[in-house]
Amino acid sequence: MIKLKRIELLAAELFSYSLDNYADHIEIGNVRFTKLMPNDVKALLTAEKENWTEDQISKALEIEISQVRDYLERFKIAKKIVNAINPSESFRYAVKQSIKYAIEDGLNTEEDIDNLVIQICYKAADLGYLLELESKKLSDYSEWLRRDKNADYTGVGLPNLE
C-alpha cells in the first residue's frame, strides 16, 4: 500500500477522490495525481499563508474567478478532514460533509439516498485506508465513534462533540 503524503491527502479530499483511488494513481505515476493536483494544493497553502487575492488564486490555479470561493471552501473542508486528530474524527467530519452536500443537492428520491449511501461507503473506505496507515483497527476507535452530542466525555479523556 502506498502511503500518501499530507499534500496528496489534501489533494484527494479537495478533488473528491477516495484515498485508495488516489494512491492507485500515484502508484502508476499519473501526472495529474503526482504533480498537478498537489501543485494546486501547494498554491492554496501559499495563498492562505500570504493572503492572496481571489484574482491571484484564480491565475495560479488557472480557474475562473467565480470558482475561487468554492475552491477555498472545499480546501477548508479538506484541511479539516486531513488534519483531524485521528481517523475516526476524519471519518465523522467527512460523512457530515457528504450529508450536507446531499441535503444541498436535494435528498428527495431513492436515487438521491442511494448516492448518499455510496458517498458514505467511500468515506468508510477512506477510514479503512487511514486505519491501515496507522496499523489500527476500527475497534480501536469504538469509544470515539460512539460519542453522543449531549454527553460530557471530559472525564474519560475524549473530546465532547461540537
The sign one gets for the Cα dihedral 98, 99, 102, 104 is negative
Residue 148's closest CA among 158, 161, 139?
161
Of 115, 129, 95, the closest CA to residue 21 belongs to 129
The grid cell for 28 is 502508476
- Which residue, chain included where needed, has cell 486528530? 85
Query: Are 88 and 127 spatial neighbours (Cβ–Cβ below 8 Å)?
Result: yes
Task: Say what angle helices 37-50 and 6-14 make with each other, to 10 degrees.
Answer: 100
pLDDT for the residue numbered 1? 81
- The three grid cell numbers given for residue 13, joined into one nine-digit string: 479530499
The pTM score is 0.93
Tell me: the pLDDT tens digits for 132-157? 999 999 999 999 999 999 899 988 98
CA distance 159 to 17: 29
pLDDT tens digit sequence for 28-62: 999 999 999 999 999 999 999 999 999 999 999 99
CA–centroid distance for 50 within its chain = 23
Sequence spans of domains, the chain = 1-68, 84-146
CA distance 66 to 69: 7
CA distance 149 to 162: 7
Residue 162 — pLDDT band, cuts 50, 70, 90? confident
